[in-house]
Chains A and B, each alone.
Chain A
Amino acid sequence: MRKIITNEKLGESYTYIKHSSGLSIYVFPKEGYSSSYAIFGTKYGSIHTCFKRSDKDSFNKIPEGTAHFLEHKLFESEDINADELFAKTGAQSNAYTTFDRTCYLFSCSNNFAENLEILLNFVRSPYFTAETVKKEQGIIAQEINMYKDSPGWQSLFNLLRAVYKNHPVNIDIAGTVDSISQITPETLYTCYNTFYNLNNMVLAVAGDVDAEIVIEKADKILKPTDDISIDTIFEDEPETVVKPYIEEKLSVSVPVFAFGFKEPIKTERSTAEILTKSIILDILASKTSPLYKELLDEGLINSEFEAEYFTGTGFAVTLFSGESSDPKKVAQKIVAETVKIKERGISREDFERSRKKLYGQSIMSFNDIQGIANELVATHFKGDDLFSEFNILSGLTLEDVNKALKNTFNENAHSLSVILPK
C-alpha cells in the first residue's frame, strides 16, 4: 500500500508505504539537498520492562536498561560489524534509546542506497553471546557513571522518581550497573524477538532520497514477520506525587533544579493537547512572560531557565528547569503565577502572539532533514501524521486553550528536584 501526503501551504509532501514485510516506511524527499538521513526505529524503550506477546501466554519482566543495552549490541553480528561497514561508506551512523523508542540512523552525502542496505541488514541480524554481552557491560557502566556526574540529567531523573510511583519513566534509560549485570543473551533475544517485529517498527528517510530505491532495498532485505501485537503492562499510577521535594549532592558550583506538575494520568495524548499545553507554557514562562522577567530581575534564574511539556506513553509533566541559587523560591513563584493565570485566563493578545511563534517554529522544523525523519518516527508511533501539528495550529482557539488551562498545574501534585553542591 502506498499513499502520498501533501501539504500545499508548506510546499512539502512525502510518501507512506506499508511494506509487504509489515514495516511502515516514510520517504520525504527534499529538493536541492545534497545529503540524506535515514532512521530505523522500534517502539521499544526503557519503559517497556514488563510485556506480553499476543501469541504467548506469559508475561516477561526484564532488567532495567535492557532496551539501551540491546541498542549497543545490535551493531555487532557474527560476521559483520555495522560500524566497520558504515566506515567503508563514510556515513555517520548512530543510535539512541528513549523512554519509548530505540532508533538506528545514519546521515550521508554519498552512497545512500548502500548505507540503507547496511542499516536494514544490521538491525535485522541480532547476534548476542555471553562473551559480547560481558564486554559491553564495562562500556555501559562507564556511560552510566558519566551520566551520574551530569547535574541536568540527575535532576531530571530525580524529579521523575519524585513524581512517578510506579510508571517506569522513573528508571534510568541505561539502567544501573547492577541491573545491566543481570542481562543475558537470552534476555536480549526475548526482547529482540518481541519488539523488533517489523510490524512494530518504522523506517523514515529524508533529504536527497527516492522512494523507488528505498522500496527496492526493503524488498531485497526484509522478510515478512508475523503480525503480533504487544501488551505492555504498567502498574496503576496515582494522580498524586511520591514526594514534593528531592535533593542530591553533586560536585556543582550552582544548584541545578527541575520542577514539575504531574499531569492527569492517561496513556496517550493527542497532538492537539500537546500543542495546547505548549502554548500555555510559552505564555506562562517563556522570555515573553512577566514571570521570566520577575525571576530574572530578582536574580533567581539565568538564561538556562526553560519550560517544556515533557510527555510520552503514560506520562506527562509540565517541566521547568534551570540553575538557581534558590530553587525553592523559584518553585514558589512558579506556583503563584500558575494560580494567577488560572484565575484571570489567557488573553487574546498573548494567545495570538504565541500561536504566531509556534507557526514559525513549525515551518522552521521542515528545514532540517534530521528533524523531519525523527519526527516522522515519533508521529508514526503516536498514530499521527507529520503535518498534523502545522494543520491543527491554525484551527486552535483561545477558548480551547483556556479550557485546557483549568486542568493544568494541579496545585496538589508537584515536585521539586534540586542538585546541591557537595
Chain B
Amino acid sequence: MDYTLSKVQIADGVCAVMADTSGFKTARISFSFASNLSESNSEYALLSKLILRSSEDFPDFTQISRRLAELYGATLSSSVMKIGEQQIIKISISFIADRFALDGGSVAENCIGLLSDLIFRPNIKNGSFNLRETESEKRLLLQQIESEKNDKSVYARLRLEQIMFKDELYSLNKYGDAQTIEKITPDSEAQAYLEYLKKAVIRVNIIGKADFDKALLHLKERFASIERSPEKIETAFVLSGEDVKYESETDRVNQGKLVMGFRAGMADCDDNYYSTRVMTDLFGGGTYSKLFKVVREEMSLCYYCSARLISQKGIIFVQSGIDTENEEKAKNAIIAQLEDIKAGNFRDEDLQSSIDSLVNRFGTISDTPEDLDDWFSLQIVTDEMKKPSEYAENIRKVTREDVIAAARRVTLDTVFMLKSSESGEEKTDA
C-alpha cells in the first residue's frame, strides 16, 4: 500500500508519525511510551491497564466498551513490550474509515477524542486512583505474570534472560515484579502517572485517513499543560559472552525446552545490523535455514528450532522443543550449524533465499494498518522514521562475506534447559 509519511514534533520528546492513505477500510491511532527499564516498570505496566479501566468521563469499563461498540466496534487495546532496555507501553485504537459511518459522523474524530480522554483525563480524584479498580488491576497484572509461566517456551526464555543478564537491566520483566506490584497504592500510582507523562518518550502514530491538522492541534493542546523533561533512552551492549553459563530445571512437562542465548557482537543496534539479521535468518529462520534443515528435517529432533535476533540489545536467542534425552545432541547440532556459517559452509542459494524471504516480509508490512503501526512504534527507541522498503534495500546488499563476518562475531553466552521429569510417559487421563 502506498502512503505519504510525515513526522511532526508535538512537544519535547513527543512526536507524531502520520501515514496518510485511503487504501484501507480502517484507520488506527496509537500512543507509544518508552522509558528505560527500572523498578518503575511495575507501576507503568499497571497504568497501561488502569487507564483503560475507567476515566473522568467513563465511570467504568462497561461504559467504555459500550462507547466502543457504538463507534462501530472500534477496538481498544494496550500492550507492554521490552525493546532493548526500554519498557514500551502502547495504547491503540482501530476503527472503520469515516466513509462507512451510517450516521454521517466522523468515527476518526470520535476515536481520537476517546483515546486522548482516556490517556489525559484518567480517573484520578483527590490525587488518587480508584481503590477498588487499582486492587483489581493489580491482581490481574500479578496473574498475567503468573500465566506467562503457563507457556513453557516463554517461561524457559524468561529464565534464560534472568541468568544471562544477571547484571544488566535487560533481566527485568516487562511487567515488573510481584513484590513491587503488591506495594502499589492508589496514591503512588497517581504519582507515577504524573511523572510518566513528563518523562516518557512518546510517539503518536496515525495510520489511514483522518483530519491530521485537527488531530495535531488537539495533541499540542493536550501536551501544552505538561512540563516535559523526557529521559535519555539508552541500552547497554555487551559484545561477547565469556564462559558459557548453564542452568537447568526439571518440571512435570511432556516436552523439554532448550534455550540458548548468544551475544551478536553488536556495539549498538545499527552496528552490522543488516548482515547480522541475514545471518540469523540463514541460521534459524525459514525452511531454508540451517536449524530447520538439519535439526528438524534431517535429525527429526523437534517440531521447531529457530533463531531470533534482538538487534536493540545485540543478542540472539535459539529456542527448541525437544525430548529431554536429546539435549546434548540438539545443543551440539545447533552449535555445529553456527560453526558451519562461520566457516562459510552454506549454499549461495540458501543465502539468497534468506535475503529474498526477509525482503518479502518487509514488503508485506505496509498492507495492514496494524503492521505499519507496529513498525513505526518500534522505532521510538532510535527516534527514526524509516520505511520498510529502506530496510529491504539494505538487506539486498548483504554479501556472503558479510554473513561469515557476522557469524564470527557471535558467541554463546548462556544455555537454559527445562527438563521433563516424565519424558517418554504417555498420559492416560482425559
What residues make up the interface of A, taking CB atoms closer than 8 Å to B? 10, 31-35, 83-84, 86-93, 107-110, 135, 138-140, 142-143, 145-146, 148-151, 154, 158, 161, 177-178, 207, 246, 248, 251-254, 256, 286-290, 292-293, 296-297, 299, 302-304, 323, 353-354, 356-361, 363-364, 366-369, 422
**Whole-angstrom distance between the alpha carbons of A142 and B369 in the complex?**
36
Contact: B254 with A145, CB < 8 Å? yes
Known A-B contacts A366-B25, A367-B369; the reply to A360 vs B360 at CB < 8 A is no
Shortest distance from the beta carbon of B252 to any chain A beta carbon, whole Å: 5
**Whole-angstrom distance between the alpha carbons of A91 and B2 in the complex?**
21
Kindly identify which residue among A109, A135, A287 contacts B61, using a CB–CB cutoff of 8 Å: A287
Contact: A110 with B363, CB < 8 Å? yes
B299-357 at interface with A (beta carbon < 8 Å):
300-304, 321-323, 349-350, 352-353, 355-357
Task: Determine whether B382 belongs to the interface, using a CB cutoff of 8 Å to chain A.
Answer: no
Indicate with 1 or 0, residue by residue over B1-20, a CB within 8 angstroms of chain A CB atoms. Answer: 11000000000000000000
Task: Determine whether B125 belongs to the interface, using a CB cutoff of 8 Å to chain A.
Answer: no
Known A-B contacts A148-B255, A149-B254, A286-B65; the reply to A363 vs B136 at CB < 8 A is no
Shortest distance from the beta carbon of A296 to any chain B beta carbon, whole Å: 7
Query: Which chain B residues lie closer than 8 Å to A323 at the CB level?
Result: 143, 147
Given contacts A87-B353, A90-B359, A358-B73, list 9 more A-B pairs with CB under 8 A: A31-B23, A107-B364, A109-B360, A145-B323, A146-B303, A178-B426, A286-B65, A302-B140, A353-B69
Contact: B364 with A35, CB < 8 Å? yes
Query: Which chain A residues lie closer than 8 Å to B427 at the CB level?
Result: 148
Contact: B300 with A135, CB < 8 Å? yes
Query: Which chain B residues lie closer than 8 Å to A292 at the CB level?
Result: 62
By size class, the interface of chain B is 35 or more
The 9 A-B pairs at the shortest CB distance, nearest first, are namely A109-B363, A90-B356, A360-B72, A360-B73, A138-B300, A357-B73, A83-B287, A87-B353, A87-B288
Known A-B contacts A35-B363, A254-B143, A297-B136; the reply to A142 vs B69 at CB < 8 A is no
Shortest distance from the beta carbon of A176 to any chain B beta carbon, whole Å: 8
Indicate with 1 or 0, residue by residue over B133-157, a CB within 8 angstroms of chain A CB atoms. Answer: 0001001100110110111100000
What residues make up the interface of B, taking CB atoms closer than 8 Å to A? 1-2, 21, 23-26, 60-62, 65-66, 68-74, 94-96, 100, 102, 132, 136, 139-140, 143-144, 146-147, 149-152, 251-255, 286-288, 296-297, 300-304, 321-323, 349-350, 352-353, 355-357, 359-361, 363-364, 366-369, 426-427, 429-430
Contact: A293 with B366, CB < 8 Å? no
Contact: B73 with A361, CB < 8 Å? yes
30 contacts between A and B (CB under 8 A): A32-B1, A32-B23, A33-B1, A35-B363, A35-B364, A84-B288, A90-B355, A90-B359, A92-B360, A92-B361, A108-B363, A142-B302, A148-B254, A178-B426, A207-B367, A248-B429, A252-B149, A253-B146, A253-B149, A254-B147, A256-B150, A287-B61, A289-B62, A293-B61, A297-B136, A356-B69, A356-B73, A357-B72, A359-B72, A364-B94
**Whole-angstrom distance between the alpha carbons of A109 and B358 in the complex?**
11
Contact: A356 with B363, CB < 8 Å? no
A86, A146, A161: residue with the most chain B Cβ atoms closer than 10 Å: A146
Contact: A109 with B147, CB < 8 Å? no
Contact: A92 with B357, CB < 8 Å? yes
Contact: B70 with A254, CB < 8 Å? no
Query: Which chain B residues lie closer than 8 Å to A87 at the CB level?
Result: 286-288, 349-350, 353, 356-357
Contact: A254 with B146, CB < 8 Å? yes
Write the chain A residue with the least CB distance to B289.
Answer: A87
Query: Which chain A residues lie closer than 8 Å to B62 at the CB level?
Result: 287-290, 292-293
**Whole-angstrom distance between the alpha carbons of A138 and B302 in the complex?**
8
Query: Which chain A residues lie closer than 8 Å to B301 at the CB level?
Result: 138, 142
**Whole-angstrom distance between the alpha carbons of A368 and B28 in the complex?**
14
Kindly identify which residue among B132, B252, B300 contacts A251, using a CB–CB cutoff of 8 Å: B252
Contact: B368 with A84, CB < 8 Å? no
Contact: B356 with A356, CB < 8 Å? no
**Whole-angstrom distance between the alpha carbons of A34 and B21 in the complex?**
14
Query: Which chain A residues lie closer than 8 Å to B139 at the CB level?
Result: 299
Contact: B143 with A302, CB < 8 Å? yes
**Whole-angstrom distance between the alpha carbons of A83 and B149 in the complex?**
33
Contact: A369 with B367, CB < 8 Å? yes
Query: Which chain A residues lie closer than 8 Å to B25 at the CB level?
Result: 10, 363-364, 366-367
Write the chain A residue with the least CB distance to B353.
Answer: A87
**Whole-angstrom distance between the alpha carbons of A150 and B152 in the complex?**
8
Query: Which chain A residues lie closer than 8 Å to B1 at the CB level?
Result: 32-34
Kindly identify which residue among A107, A142, A356 contacts B323, using a CB–CB cutoff of 8 Å: A142
Query: Which chain B residues lie closer than 8 Å to A286 at the CB level?
Result: 65
Contact: A151 with B150, CB < 8 Å? yes
Shortest distance from the beta carbon of B320 to any chain A beta carbon, whole Å: 9
